[in-house]
């Protein structure tokens, strides 16, 4: 289903290109990535060569200078791949991590890294979450103490996507600004192999198995003061600002997942016989899948409408928070029923729907838990 009110031919061409890439490069190999626990870097470089990693960035860095609507197309189609671990690996790089470098980076920082980021030669992670601080960004404890011309970082970060194999880390830290908590958070760029930065643990997740996720440790990790991203004490606002982009991307990704699960289940129930007839002949199953299809279509239209408004420069904080809550819950409802209608097969490791159900569970948690999102909506009602 195409939404001509929100998209144009360029967006649909992008969609077709991504679908071909997924069919040719992802589907034949991604089961092995799930076993390996990461997406091969050569795949990300191929995505960079095709322009998928620089959709929103200027042409001077090799990007396409498109807007939020193109990002939503990318996120939806990567979600539709059925391999959410692969999808989130790419989307963290494009829309959750490298944006801090681009938005707040100095001309020198951009010149040093952005072309490689867009080409997939350097992969980026964002390190905000800690063992005791997730959605409450002001509660982070990792510190960056100024010593001469350097910052010295100490602390730890948890659940960091791309954390094992990233080349660049955009790290949220507490700096000594002397102001309120919201004005003591700064963002600092830390390069791979910087002494004092280490992967404390490779985390073993229920889903998103092909997404490498780590606990990071900073022990007297010394970085030049010029690695500060933006002004000191402005990191909290940078993180809050990008949450809107991050959450609309996650909402689009979940709708790609949900639609793929429905398509898979429709094919299954129309061919799987029970009591002498296909499962599709059972009214309860037909009607449940019909209702879920309607709700996914409605949520997807809401995603695109919000993306179009964001691209036009409108304020959409309330709508994005609604989307994150709505889509994160809806995709799990879809997966629950799709597993149910697959019967015992849906509970077996090695089946697509079982993997998708595991992957989807985190969508109501990561990037802003449903309960946090609903509070953000309630504040604006």
Structural domains in the chain? Answer: 9-122 (1.10.540.10), 125-231 (2.40.110.10), 237-379 (1.20.140.10)
Identify the pLDDT of residue 177.
65
CA pair distance 150, 137, nearest whole angstrom: 24
Question: Is pLDDT above 90 for 7?
Answer: no
Per-residue pLDDT band for 200 (boundaries 50, 70, 90) equals very high
Residue 176 binned pLDDT confidence (cut-offs 50, 70, 90):
confident
- Listed residue (32, 30, 25, 99) closest to 61, CA to CA: 99
Q: Which of 76, 77, 130, 246 is catalytic?
A: 246
**Distance separating alpha carbons of residues 17 and 5, to the nearest angstrom:** 21
- pLDDT, tens digit, for every residue of 332-359? 999 999 999 999 999 999 999 999 999 9
Question: Average pLDDT, stretch 211-228?
Answer: 97
Tokens of 81: 């791949």
71-93 burial, b if ≥16 CB within 10 A, otherwise e?
A: bbbbbbbbbbbbbbbbbbbbbbb
Whose CA is closest to 255, among 338, 360, 351? 360
pLDDT digits (tens, 9 = 90+) for 98-151: 999 999 999 999 999 999 999 999 999 999 999 887 677 878 899 999 999 999
Please report the beta strands in the chain, taking only residues with DSSP state E, as ranges in sequence order. Answer: 124-127, 143-147, 150-161, 168-174, 185-191, 197-202, 213-224, 228-229, 273-274, 277-278
- Position 168 pLDDT exceeds 80: yes
Whose tokens are 């408004």? That residue is 309
**pTM value?**
0.94
- Burial class from Cβ neighbours inside 10 Å (0-12, 13-18, 19+) for residue 166 reads buried
Does the active-site annotation cover 329?
no
Q: What's the pLDDT band for 182 if we cut at 50, 70, 90?
A: confident
d(CA 352, CA 164): 26
- The label of the residue with tokens 């909402």 reads 251
Q: What percent of the chain has pLDDT over 70?
A: 98
Q: For 226-234, what is the mean pLDDT?
A: 94
Distance of alpha carbon 213 from alpha carbon 148, whole angstroms: 33
Which sign, positive or negative, has the C-alpha torsion 29, 75, 93, 134? negative
């Amino acid at each position: 289903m195409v939404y001509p009110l929100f998209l144009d031919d360029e967006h649909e061409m992008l969609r077709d290109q991504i679908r071909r890439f997924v069919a040719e490069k992802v589907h034949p190999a991604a089961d092995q990535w799930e076993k390996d626990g990461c997406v091969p870097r050569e795949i990300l470089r191929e995505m960079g060569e095709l322009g998928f990693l620089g959709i929103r960035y200027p042409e001077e860095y090799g990007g396409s200078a498109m807007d939020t609507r193109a990002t939503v197309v990318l996120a939806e189609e990567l979600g539709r791949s059925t391999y959410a671990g692969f999808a989130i690996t790419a989307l963290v790089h494009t829309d959750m991590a490298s944006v801090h470098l681009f938005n707040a980076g100095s001309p020198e920082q951009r010149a040093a890294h952005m072309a490689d980021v867009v080409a997939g030669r350097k992969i980026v992670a964002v390190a905000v979450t800690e063992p005791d601080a997730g959605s409450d960004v002001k509660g982070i404890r990792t510190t960056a103490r100024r010593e001469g011309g350097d910052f010295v970082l100490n602390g730890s970060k948890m659940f960091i996507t791309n954390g094992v194999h990233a080349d660049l880390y955009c790290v949220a830290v507490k700096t000594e600004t002397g102001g309120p908590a919201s004005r003591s958070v700064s963002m600092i760029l830390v390069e791979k192999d910087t002494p004092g930065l280490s992967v404390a643990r490779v985390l073993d997740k229920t889903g998103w198995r092909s997404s490498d996720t780590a606990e990071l440790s900073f022990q007297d990790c010394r970085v030049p003061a010029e690695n500060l991203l933006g002004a000191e004490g402005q990191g909290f606002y940078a993180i809050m600002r990008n949450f809107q982009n991050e959450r609309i991307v996650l909402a689009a990704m979940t709708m790609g997942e949900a639609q793929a699960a429905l398509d898979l289940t429709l094919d299954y129930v129309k061919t799987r016989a029970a009591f002498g007839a296909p499962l599709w002949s059972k009214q309860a199953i037909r009607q449940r899948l019909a209702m879920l299809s309607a709700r996914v279509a409605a949520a997807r239209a809401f995603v695109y409408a919000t993306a179009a408004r964001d691209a036009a420069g409108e304020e959409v904080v309330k709508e994005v928070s609604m989307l994150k809550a709505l889509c994160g819950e809806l995709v799990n409802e879809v997966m629950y029923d799709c597993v149910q209608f697959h019967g015992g097969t849906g509970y077996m490791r090695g089946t697509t729907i079982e993997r998708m159900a595991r992957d989807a569970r985190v969508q109501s948690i990561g990037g802003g838990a449903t309960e946090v999102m609903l509070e953000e909506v309630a504040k604006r009602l």
